[in-house]
Structure 1
């Protein structure tokens, strides 16, 4: 049973907003664009592997968690690409979407990627990350469950060349996932009854804690206002007669403001005052700003000068 759907990570959502609002001429634009492209590739790779689960026979009683996030007892975050809970074991998958050859050096704790153009790049060892996740899944010990935890590194890109990697750790292409899981199901004995499995899945879900990621740059560098999607978010729209109007292409849109609110929530804060709204959205009139905010039905907290508005996570889908 799929218990937790695949969603975009907070980092990817933040970078999407930043790409809309950071000028291409900015000194850090290339850095953030590369980071954004890596996040997109990773997300697409995860979705590619997800399809394997829905074509996998004889899984038995199980619960699947996509993009599972939690905090350990020290308050540090963990993000697990895929978590499979069965009556026999708990499986942690780390998914990589890589073009080129991958070599992993356990002694030096690094992963080396050789790109098709011959360039080399070094990254942290993903096996260390899987082991860290395993060590901190203390929910199991709290419930007195001695369920084995298994980790595997899965490559979603069929073109990835798996080079020199440790032989004692499961590392394979996504096409091998079903065979690997079936082998685990065959080799591990039954430990949990279905009721206990259901209880454990609920406990894991209750510990879900999404991380909010904010940009590491001064927000004075981002573009303000309601931006025109037709103009690739390069032109700031003006508010006229209840609509947002683009002087460049002539586009008029009532909902463009929702995208801007989403970006403000992701990049700045989930709270905004009338004054902050006018400053960021380019509205001069206090009354006009109040009417816009009231019309959107955004929750308010406080009174008079202490009043602020809470921007919901789903503002863009309203």
Structure 2
């Protein structure tokens, strides 16, 4: 069994940093909070499916999570792709509360919650588009023709789904998390002929993982917040928005009276997520609110960051701090 581990999308980390570095008076704070809630909700919905994956066959399945690929000038993303020798299964998870109504392939999905109606992109058509792109890629790879199935899994236990009597496709593709095991058995009985050999599966997985491009947007540009408007300084891990003071080679909080030796790592990670993954001594001094160049040089040197250039023109690379923060943290099974 081959698995691409699920990790928290980097946009969640970026939005968390942006919210932390955005002034309380900034009108866009609520917009940032809404976006963060949306991404966190979707991620938690994907995580919740891990429980049900445990009950699927353990030996012959290959899982790829969050694969995002550029195809025909557009990116398409699959929450989970399960590869078997008999068929492929695309799973689109939706963590949406309320009453969901599916009218037809030509209409949006309508959500009713707290007596308010809201239109969403039809997820049934969404997974059909994903199937089209995946099939095109497999054809280009000259892989054996294999059936591609797709499901929309509603992960919120309170969700109620309703379908137009004429929209039979939605009724067959939209399920709750608890129905995944039974649906997988149904698909396995439908596709009993082995088509892909182990070398075919490895070829598909290698291609998809190689061409995977994580979503990594510039959130400052997205919310039109200039870099100079971001809050500077090293924040107290305990008191959050309180800015620490540099005292005798440590960071001191005058509110909780604690010292934090490595609090600047989180601040530099914010810088890397929001501004640039490279930083100069001058930019570091300004962002951390340091008083001298020697302080700045000492802090950056003690982090053992890779760098280019001489001391005065030295540029430090912060990719390692980002990787440390966003590294895989959720394992499947």
Same fold (TM over 0.5): yes
Shift of 1:317: 8.5
Where does residue 113 of structure 1 map in the other structure? 111
- Work out which of the residue numbers 297, 306, 309 in structure 1 matches 2:304: 297
CA displacement, residues 90-141 of structure 1 (integer Å, 9 cap, x when unaligned): 11111011111112344554222111x2122222222332222222224311
Query: Matched residue of 1:163: which SS?
Result: strand
Aligned partners of 1:157, 1:101: CA distance in 2, in Å?
A: 11
- Work out which of the residue numbers 175, 190, 194 in structure 1 matches 2:194: 190
The answer on 1:220 being equivalent to 2:228 is yes
Shift of 1:316: 4.2
Where does residue 330 of structure 2 map in the other structure? none
After superposing on structure 2, the runs of 4+ consecutive aligned residues of structure 1 that deviate more than 4 Å are 315-318
Aligned partners of 1:111, 1:222: CA distance in 2, in Å?
A: 38
> Bigger CA drift: 298-307 or 152-161?
298-307
Scaled by the length of structure 1, the TM-score of the pair is 0.92
Where does residue 49 of structure 1 map in the other structure? 49
Where does residue 211 of structure 2 map in the other structure? 207
Shift of 1:300: 0.3
The answer on 1:314 being equivalent to 2:292 is no
Is contact 2:64–2:82 with CA below 8 Å preserved after alignment? yes
Using a 3 Å threshold, how does the CA distance of structure 1 residues 315 and 192 change in structure 2: closer, same or farther?
Answer: closer
CA displacement, residues 11-49 of structure 1 (integer Å, 9 cap, x when unaligned): 212112122222333201111112211221111111111
Is contact 1:271–1:309 with CA below 8 Å preserved after alignment? yes
The answer on 1:124 being equivalent to 2:121 is yes
How is 1:1-318 mapped onto 2 (pairs within 5 angstroms)? 1-56=1-56, 58=57, 61-74=60-73, 76-106=74-104, 108-115=106-113, 117-137=114-134, 138-145=136-143, 146-164=145-163, 166-169=167-170, 170-188=173-191, 189-215=193-219, 216=222, 217-218=224-225, 219-231=227-239, 233-311=240-318, 312=320, 313-316=322-325
Aligned partners of 1:190, 1:84: CA distance in 2, in Å?
A: 15
Aligned partners of 1:121, 1:250: CA distance in 2, in Å?
A: 48
Aligned partners of 2:111, 2:263: CA distance in 1, in Å?
A: 41
- Ranges in structure 1 where 5+ consecutive residues have no aligned partner: none
The alignment covers a number of residue pairs equal to 314
Is contact 1:261–1:316 with CA below 8 Å preserved after alignment? no
CA displacement, residues 55-109 of structure 1 (integer Å, 9 cap, x when unaligned): 22x36522101222222242x3232111111111211111011111112344554
Is contact 1:300–1:309 with CA below 8 Å preserved after alignment? yes
Query: Matched residue of 2:63: which SS?
Result: strand
Aligned partners of 2:228, 2:162: CA distance in 1, in Å?
A: 45
Aligned partners of 1:111, 1:306: CA distance in 2, in Å?
A: 55
Query: Matched residue of 1:120: which SS?
Result: strand
RMSD over equivalenced CA pairs, Å: 2.0
> Bigger CA drift: 241-250 or 286-295?
241-250
- Ranges in structure 2 where 5+ consecutive residues have no aligned partner: 328-333
Query: Matched residue of 2:168: which SS?
Result: coil
Scaled by the length of structure 2, the TM-score of the pair is 0.88
Is contact 2:67–2:208 with CA below 8 Å preserved after alignment? no
Is contact 1:278–1:289 with CA below 8 Å preserved after alignment? yes
- More relative contact order, 1 or 2 (CA 8 Å, 6+ apart): 2
Aligned partners of 2:76, 2:288: CA distance in 1, in Å?
A: 35
Query: Matched residue of 1:26: which SS?
Result: coil
